[in-house]
Amino acid sequence: MTDPREYDLIGIGFGPANIALAIALEEDPDTELRTVFVEKSPVPQWQENMLLGGSDIQHHPLRDLVSLRNPRSRYSFTNYLFENQRLIEHLNLPTPFPLRIEYADYISWVRRTLSAPVIYGTAVIGIEFDPETDLYTVTTSDGDLLTAPQVSLGPGRTPLIPDEFVGTLDSRRVVHLTDYLSAAGTFDPATDRRIGIVGGSQSAVELALDIRRRFPAIDVGIITRSWSLRAKDHSPFSEEIYFPQFTDYYHRSSKAARRRLDLFTRPTNYSAADLDVLERLYAEMYEDRLHGRSRTLIYGDSEIVAVASGPHEALTLTTRNATTGHHDELVFDRVVLATGFRDMGGGQDDEHHHPLLGGVHRCLRSDSDGDLLVERDYSVRPVSGTAPIYLNGLCESTHGIGDAGSFSLLSLRAELIARSILDCHDRSRAGTSASA
């Protein structure tokens, strides 16, 4: 190990959350920070394992990396189209939302255009805090040590693997959606006759359509707790939860009030899909029946209560019907988990902190339930010390639905974090020069 390299700010992960932060810092004329971002992928792509043919983005394209904060930024989606000579052509598309493959290219273009220093192909494997120096030390998979008084943690949320599937991911038969396209390359219609998709989300429906298109010989079963698949609530009053005022309101609320608000907000994004993909799947299933076939079945109102190895290396999922209590056994050769991601908190599918905070969470301020105390500027501070860790893209349970699993407020979040980072830096410089 070498001596730690010193910075003013370390960013962990260089996905949309930290890219938006890097831009906000670059666009501030007074920034003089020594910054480094560490990204585990050698050639990072936005959600590369779910860039499915024909899939579109789930947010208004102007809610991009910058526009709500600085509509004049050169890093806007509009400027990306303009500089790539596609603006007029794009405006003529008969679809309201850009294709996901184009949005992924926009993010890659920004990444290439930005001057922020990034170490690619290196994962952060640990974070520690020293209350004596008020500094964090970040350890990388290369064995390097980096220190800084401020950290922006933006690794994306932890994939949610339901308890029944823990331990099955190594078996090659079960894959989370974040690994889907890599796994799909190994699907073999000769042996993989039935594929189960767990969940009732946008991703679950997209996966069903994709498997049906790629592998006409493979049957698909969708297992969902809801009675059936349903549409997201995109109505205008509901969508006001993606206003920054809602984030203020949510953050000020008690934990109990937040959970109550979640019941209202979740149907705008979770366990539901856009109407276009629902209608496409419905029509395709109808057409199957005209051909005397039933290639896709939806197992609604069903909860998976056990997973076991079945015949010929298949998996048997035992489901329980929530209404009748009846148990069923469904056999699949492969299973794709469209089960989403973990939030921070004490709920059934939550985690108290992101795994990368394992070495440091005891030094950070938390409440009596053990949940981290996250400020409005997304910072968590140490119990002894002032050095902030910003949870960039992990704060849905404290800041509401517009915050983590969405681009909706990304640029405004970046603005708040950048301002807080610069204030903190200025204060510590003023303190250093006063004591000199």
Is 342 one of the binding residues for ligand FAD (CB under 6 A)?
no
Using CB under 6 A as the criterion, what x/- string covers residues 189-218 for binding ligand FAD?
--------------x---------------
| 202-214 helix and 275-290 helix, angle to the nearest 10 degrees | 40
Cα separation of 406 and 396, whole Å? Answer: 10
Cα separation of 394 and 343, whole Å? Answer: 7
Strand 118-120 versus strand 35-39 pairing type: parallel
Cα separation of 126 and 109, whole Å? Answer: 30
Q: How far is the CB of 181 from ligand FAD (least distance, A)?
A: 10
Q: How far is the CB of 286 from ligand FAD (least distance, A)?
A: 27
Stretch that binds ligand FAD, among 9-17, 27-35, 321-329, 367-375 (CB under 6 A): 9-17
3-state secondary structure of 412: helix
- In the region spanning residues 43 to 102, those forming contacts with ligand FAD, defined by CB under 6 A, are 44, 46-47, 50, 57-59
- In the region spanning residues 386 to 415, those forming contacts with ligand FAD, defined by CB under 6 A, are 393, 405-408
Stretch that binds ligand FAD, among 25-33, 41-49, 321-329, 425-433 (CB under 6 A): 41-49
Contact (CB, 8 A) for 129 and 363: yes
Q: Binder to ligand FAD among 23, 38, 307, 421 (CB under 6 A)?
A: 38
Q: How far is the CB of 50 from ligand FAD (least distance, A)?
A: 3
Q: What is the dihedral of CA 429, 430, 432, 436, to 10 degrees?
A: 140
The single-letter DSSP state of residue 125 is: E
Nearer to ligand FAD, 13 or 345 (CB): 13
The single-letter DSSP state of residue 264 is: H
Nearer to ligand FAD, 204 or 307 (CB): 204
Q: Binder to ligand FAD among 23, 25, 36, 124 (CB under 6 A)?
A: 124
Cα separation of 275 and 278, whole Å? Answer: 5
Q: Count other C-beta atoms under 10 Å from residue 74's C-beta.
A: 14
Nearer to ligand FAD, 302 or 408 (CB): 408
Question: Tokens representing 235?
Answer: 């109505």
Binding interface with ligand FAD (CB under 6 A) = 12-17, 38-41, 44, 46-47, 50, 57-59, 123-124, 154-156, 203, 356, 393, 405-408
